[in-house]
Amino acid sequence: MSLRNQDVDEEVVYAEIVEGGELGRTAPAARPLVDAHTVLMPGEGIPTSDDPRATYTERDLYVSEETAQALKEAEEEGSPQRRTAMRLFEAWCAEQGRVAKPCTTATYTEYGRHLMARGLKVTTIRHYMSLIRTSMPPGKKPDNSLFLLLLTQYRKKNKRALRRKEAFPITLPYLVPMMEKTEADNRPIGWRDSAMFAFGYRFLGRSIEDVDLDLEDVTILDDRVLVWLAEDKTHKGEEQTLVLHDRPDLNLVFRLRRWVRYLAEQGITTGPVFREVLRSGKVASAETRERRGATKRGAYLRPQTVNERVKLWFGAAGLKTDGRPVSSHSLRAGGATDLGMNGATDEELEEAGRWKKGSRIPRERYVRPAKDASKDPFRKIPVHSPDAQTPK
């Protein structure tokens, strides 16, 4: 009998002596085609290599040029965080002489330990490793069990790595001076930023949701703004129409209508609401941005741009924080904090910020810290006066 022993599946040829002393060849025995995930119905036979349905040709393995291009574009248009995570991972793999995509379980585990050696927060490490794993081709994702084992040990030995530094909440006492500062020069970029800040606070959106908003999805009425969402992070495949009621201190309708009118004057009535403004005051076209290298987002702003503008105007307004960082997320945090501090129920908070039902995030991250900061049991103790008689 002759066998070819290799690590990959090869045809096994069996030989036996037949009449005349010659060797005859027999067909290989049919192999069962099952694995740990095979599901069979009652009475259904186990599929084998003889099953004509299991005989694949090249047509079953390749996708068309159109599908390949669509997959490439979908991958390139992934979230900025995923692109950043993969860029850093690929650079590390290149230094280590390892294959980045698809990576092995050993490479994935080793990179996780590399992030831990840098002393990063547990949430940051877990987030980056999740983005890397989901970026791998279908069916070729590394096993993350060893990485999670290391992360458990890391959590126990590095208590500071568990510390989460939340964004400083930009509540109305901070937001209003910021918006007034943006409009002091009466320039288009200030109109855009004040509309973007007012909308971000009232919309309670994530920065990517703000910059992905299209003009076609917004209806501006006299006392409210209607926003249509195809889906969001916690409502995949569930469309929503949100009603954003205006308020005198926010002036959302005025600020958003002024900016949208300015876009219309330049012939822009479709596409992204918030766009880049050039030094001339004109709105940059997608072609202009492409010539300058902004090919990923086209006419859409990057979420990082919102982050930069929030920091700029917060400082320009002369505002100070309590040590927590200011970011685009501060607008969402500010709206949630204002709601919670003024009697909003858990259900109202969840609905306003589109958190999952029963989510503890709005209460634990935004409302409770603000309430705890205002508590001081030592206020019950009378202030000591130097003239007071010393007790004997």
Reported as a single tens digit per residue, the pLDDT across 29-68 is 777 878 777 888 888 888 887 776 666 778 888 889 999 8
Per-domain residue ranges of the chain:
79-162, 172-373
Domain 172-373 has CATH 1.10.3720.10: no
pLDDT at 231 over 50: yes
What are the φ/ψ torsions at residue 24 (nearest 5 degrees)?
Answer: -110, 150
Q: Say what the pLDDT of residue 376 is.
A: 80
The predicted structure's pLDDT at residue 207: 86
At 328 the pLDDT is: 92
pLDDT digits (tens, 9 = 90+) for 84-125: 899 999 999 999 999 999 999 999 999 999 999 998 888 889
Q: What is the pLDDT of residue 233?
A: 73
Q: Point out the least confidently predicted range of 168-172, 216-220, 332-336, 380-384.
A: 380-384
Q: What is the pTM of this model?
A: 0.65
In which residue are the tokens 């916690």 written? 234
Q: What is the mean pLDDT of the chain?
A: 84
Residue 182 pLDDT level (bands cut at 50, 70, 90):
very high
pLDDT above 70 covers a percentage of the chain that reads 85
* Mean pLDDT calculated for residue range 320-328: 90
What CATH number should be reported for the domain whose range is 79-162? 1.10.150.130
